[in-house]
């Protein structure tokens, strides 16, 4: 063998040793696995409630008690557009009970009122256990926002994921009558 080939062999040998040094021993792997499990399991006395005991978690309560809220539009000198995208919308199919997933897009040209974002988030999450058709939920969201805000214009698009090889997109619009 030439010096060059010995050098290459030496480098390979070091490389192999380095890789074998980073291999975890059974004891260290078990210790890491135990730490991983402990990090993912909440403490029993954390005061956050226990799902197994039937107590509702704070997020569940907030969603159940949701109420759309508004605040005054502070920019009345011009018309402008607000776009909201809610990519994690879920509801239940009223025929099968299977979950339906969608991206809800809301475009509002406000008049006197704007919707408060946290209340909108909780309102949208409130549909997750409701049995409702795609067409109905899109129009319900539109009407609830029209009733709350009385905007110049509003469009709600429900872009539902494919079910049964059919992709459904429902668009509902409202324009305020001219004064």
How far apart, in whole angstroms, are the C-alpha atoms of residue 46 and residue 44?
A: 6
Pick the catalytic residue: 83, 86, 100, 144? 100
How far apart, in whole angstroms, are the C-alpha atoms of residue 77 and residue 35?
A: 58
Phi first, then psi, for residue 130 (nearest 5°) are -95, 140
What does the block give as tokens for 110?
């406000």
How far apart, in whole angstroms, are the C-alpha atoms of residue 22 and residue 38?
A: 24
Q: Hey, which bits of the chain come out as E strands?
A: 70-72, 82-92, 99-109, 113-115, 153-160, 169-175
Instruction: Confirm if 120 and 68 have CB atoms less than 8 A apart.
Output: yes
Tell me whether residue 114 is one of the annotated catalytic residues: no
Beta-sheet pairing, 113-115 with 99-109: unpaired
Tell me whether residue 45 is one of the annotated catalytic residues: no
Pick the catalytic residue: 93, 111, 136, 144? 93
Catalytic residues: 93, 100
């Amino acid at each position: 063998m030439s010096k060059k080939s010995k050098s290459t062999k030496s480098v390979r040998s070091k490389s192999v040793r380095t890789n074998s040094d980073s291999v975890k021993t059974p004891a260290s792997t078990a210790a890491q696995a135990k730490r991983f499990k402990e990090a993912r399991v909440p403490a029993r006395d954390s005061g956050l409630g226990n799902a197994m005991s039937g107590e509702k978690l704070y997020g569940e309560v907030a969603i159940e008690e949701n109420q759309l809220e508004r605040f005054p539009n502070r920019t009345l000198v011009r018309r402008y557009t607000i776009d909201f995208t809610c990519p994690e919308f879920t509801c239940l199919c009223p025929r099968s009970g299977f979950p339906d997933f969608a991206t809800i897009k809301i475009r509002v040209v406000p008049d006197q009122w704007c919707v408060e974002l946290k209340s909108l988030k909780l309102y949208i999450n409130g549909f997750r256990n409701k049995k409702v058709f795609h067409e109905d939920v899109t129009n319900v969201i539109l009407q609830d926002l029209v009733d709350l805000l009385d905007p110049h214009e509003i469009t709600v698009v429900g872009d539902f994921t494919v079910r049964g090889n059919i992709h459904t997109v429902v668009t509902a619009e409202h324009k305020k009558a001219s004064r």
